Amino acid sequence: MSGFRFASLVLAVSSIVALPSLAAAQSSDYVYCSNGIVCMMAPCPSGNALDLTTGNVVKGVELNTTELPPLDRSAPDLSDKLYAGKLVVRGSIQHRGQPNDPPMLVVTKIERSSSKKSERKRCAAR
């Protein structure tokens, strides 16, 4: 029985250690920006996210900044900089809720405070 307990413990510990590395592999650097669509009701596909790793633009993305550290989240100009595409953020695109809900960019970290003009232009392209 103790061999079984030990094997279970090793399996549990290795699973816990592997989970953060899997989550990190799914995150990427993004430039989020407004695509110019103005909505009156949610869900609102008014944002695009440029994946800097692949170069793909994910259109119609909602933004979630609740995973940011409190100091970053409380910055007075965070929202303006995000919607203008002036920040490079670390995060992941997640599909939550109903199948027809737009994808969500869950931001976990601000990587740098200025994206390149070409990145902003590509992100905002319709």
Count of all residues that appear for the chain in the document: 126
pLDDT in tens, 53-66: 999 999 999 999 99
Q: CA–CA separation, 47 vs 58, rounded Å? A: 9
pLDDT (tens digit per residue) in 85-106: 999 999 999 987 888 888 999 9
Per-residue tokens: 87: 């920040």
In a 13 Å sphere around the CA of 119, the CA atoms on its Cβ side amount to: 22
CA distance 125 to 55: 13
Question: Quick check: 6 pLDDT over 90?
Answer: no
Domain assignments of the chain as residue spans, ordered by start: 27-124
User: Which single residue is written with the structure tokens 């407004």?
Assistant: 34
Q: What pLDDT sits at residue 58?
A: 92
Can you tell me whether residue 102 is helix, strand or coil?
A: coil
What's this model's pTM, rounded to 2 decimal places?
A: 0.72
**pLDDT tens per residue across span 9-56:** 544 444 444 444 344 447 899 999 988 888 777 777 789 999 999 999
Report whether 34 contacts 81 (CB < 8 A): no
User: Is the CB of residue 62 less than 8 Å from the CB of residue 44?
Assistant: yes
pLDDT one-digit tens code per residue, 107-120: 999 999 877 888 88
The C-alpha atoms of residue 32 and residue 61 are separated, in whole angstroms, by: 9
